[in-house]
A and B are shown apart, each in its own frame.
Chain A
Amino acid sequence: EAGVVQSPRYKIIEKKQPVAFWCNPISGHNTLYWYLQNLGQGPELLIRYENEEAVDDSQLPKDRFSAERLKGVDSTLKIQPAELGDSAVYLCASSRSGQGYNEQFFGPGTRLTVL
């Protein structure tokens, strides 16, 4: 089966510019996650969707970050405006459901560099 697809793979922007990342999860996976991974660190959850509902966005900096999953399939994560500290890899993952016994499948990530 096809894996989690993310685009773009790399993005370089000037600070204060907007940026958007796109994710298409594995077909049939109801749960979608956005993680942020800083260099040398583990992934940190930003937001989790069950179908089109954001069920956990407590770690999402809502003043500049937003996300949507309108039809319960693909998702977009946006940053506006970007800051230097936002430079990181943004990972998308999906699983069949949000139950703890389901493995998460990760996409290759988008590496964001803010200059």
Chain B
Amino acid sequence: QQPVQSPQAVILREGEDAVINCSSSKALYSVHWYRQKHGEAPVFLMILLKGGEQKGHDKISASFNEKKQQSSLYLTASQLSYSGTYFCGTDAGGGADGLTFGKGTHLIIQP
């Protein structure tokens, strides 16, 4: 079942902060976050694993609430380069079932 992302879109001024949420109805093994710019491949940002382990870029922070099956991606002091569509991909089978992606959150950073 597809995870639900919110908000669908957000517009920020450079330097402002944003939070993108991802919610699943299934018990999750991990949550993966990707950013995709128009016409380009999705780029890996972070993995959050059941049990608290995280793997990803130092400048990206995120959380995973295992009880609620929710994850949030925190973008602080946003830069123009942060613009794009952010997808969460959820894994309920420890990799056995692949990732199920949400519909994405469109982020626009204005100067």
CB A75 to nearest CB in B, in angstroms, measures: 15
What are 9 A-B interface contacts by the 8 Å CB criterion? A42-B102, A42-B104, A43-B89, A56-B98, A99-B94, A100-B29, A100-B91, A104-B44, A106-B42
Shortest Cβ distance from A33 into B: residue: B98
In the complex, chain B residues whose CB is within 8 Å of the CB of A97: 95
Q: Residues of A within 8 Å of B, CB-based: how many?
A: 25
Residue of B55, B95, B97 with most chain A CB atoms under a 10 A cut-off:
B95
In the complex, chain A residues whose CB is within 8 Å of the CB of B98: 33, 45, 48, 56, 98
B71 within 8 A of A: no
Residue of B41, B43, B89 with most chain A CB atoms under a 10 A cut-off:
B41
Q: Is the CB of B97 within 8 A of A56?
A: yes
Contact of B103 among A40, A48, A103 (CB under 8 A): A40
B107 within 8 A of A: no
With contacts A97-B95, A100-B94, A101-B55 taken as known, whether A108 is within 8 angstroms of B40 at the C-beta atoms is yes
Shortest Cβ distance from B87 into A: residue: A42
B53 within 8 A of A: yes
Mark contacts of A72-102 with chain B using CB atoms, 8 A cut-off: 1 yes-contact digit, 0 otherwise.
Answer: 0000000000000000000100000111111
In the complex, chain B residues whose CB is within 8 Å of the CB of A98: 95-96, 98
Shortest Cβ distance from B29 into A: residue: A100
Residue of B55, B98, B103 with most chain A CB atoms under a 10 A cut-off:
B98
Q: Is the CB of A41 within 8 A of B47?
A: no
Q: Kindly state the separation between the CA atoms of A102 and B53 in the bound complex, as whole angstroms.
A: 12
Mark contacts of B4-17 with chain A using CB atoms, 8 A cut-off: 1 yes-contact digit, 0 otherwise.
Answer: 00000000000000
